Amino acid sequence: MIPEVVGSNPITHPIYVLFIVGKARLSTVFCAICYLIKSSYRLHLMQTFSQRVLAWFEKYGRKHLPWQQQATLYKTWVSEVMLQQTQVKTVIPYFNRFMRRFPDILTLANASQDDVLAHWAGLGYYSRARNLHKSAQIIRDQYHGLFPNNIEDVTALPGIGRSTAAAILALTLNQRHAILDGNVKRVLSRHQLIDGRPNRSATLKKQWAVAEKLTPQRACGQYTQAMMDLGSLICTRSKPKCRECPVYVDCGAYQSNCIDDYPNKQPKKTLPEKNTTMLIITDDQRIYLEKRPSKGIWGGLWSLPEVSGTTIACFLKRLGLSEDDRQPLDTYTHTFTHYKLHIQPLIIRVNHLNTGFRQTEVKQLGLPKPVQHLISNLHY
């Protein structure tokens, strides 16, 4: 509003002049601020995808994880295998324990599979541990105990796919290789609006093409860790922190308000259910355990024998045992990726167990998590 000026020409009055000048200056300042904001926004978009990701990593990325300290190809390899299907916070204590027991490739290669599985017990997906052990023996025998440093040789090792091999070499040697783990798939699918069923060849082809295009020529190790961190900390499956993301301004899913639609989801399936009876056979000093076949669920681990109700007596007879007492425990349910297993545990007390393990010996064995749970409160 223009101030009222009495008794003089309002156009030449000092108060009016000051008002007009002040208003002009405010307008100029406002325009300047708007210009700076727009310029900053344009400059932000002019930065490449990788530049913004790297700038974010410099401030917020994880740089103090155990395997990042004095990093070696061996440490990175073990950590990357452990991190498949498993969260960082879960992996850390297992990694530290594993490294104390197997500090280098030769120690791992020369160890028994039982020893390796015992130090893996609880992490699940035990084929990872068996492949890790097998790969260490190949490296010992074919590479003089030195982890290979080219992508073809690394990918050829058991249990190491294209993305894992790329991560190992990028993180440790700063080699330029694109990665595509679950976190990176989520970031790229949302940012680039990549449609398609997860893990279908056509979808993977599109995701790999984008990953290759966006991977920078330099600072590949930092970029690789940054992308994994971005997916793990910011671009999470549910409730992503979009406004904290360095690339949200041109993220297709964010701008289209369809974040939850990417990556496209697999149709939900009802998990089949299975039932089994596990026998906890003990003479209160030892417990009877059997080693499972190397292939299949819990391959190579020690476990409780599984029988159907009608064959318990026959099973005990085959072991030369007679039952003194039977005590059923509450049913325990364990969920695998593809089915649910309902376990009916039965404590079978016998007079004398000729073969079995004492409690101190059991602690040195690789046991499936459900078996650990079932015998944890057993006194023997």
Tell me the catalytic residues.
Answer: 80
DSSP state letters, 283-299: -SS-B--EEPPSSSTTT
Token pair in block for residue 288: 């009877």
Rounded Cα distance between 179 and 183, Å, is: 10
DSSP state letters, 101-164: H--SHHHHHHS-HHHHHHHHTTS--THHHHHHHHHHHHHHHHSTT----SHHHHHTSTT--HHH
> What are residue 287's DSSP bridge partners?
282, 357
Residue with token string 């007390």: 349
Tell me, what amino acid is at 67? W
On the 0-12 / 13-18 / 19+ scale of CB atoms within 10 A, 88 is middle
Rounded Cα distance between 288 and 273, Å, is: 27
Rounded Cα distance between 332 and 339, Å, is: 14
Closest CA to 233 of 51, 89, 69: 89
Closest CA to 158 of 143, 139, 141: 139
Q: How many CA atoms lie within 13 A of 210 on its CB side?
A: 19
Token pair in block for residue 229: 């961190």
Q: How many CA atoms lie within 13 A of 9 on its CB side?
A: 2
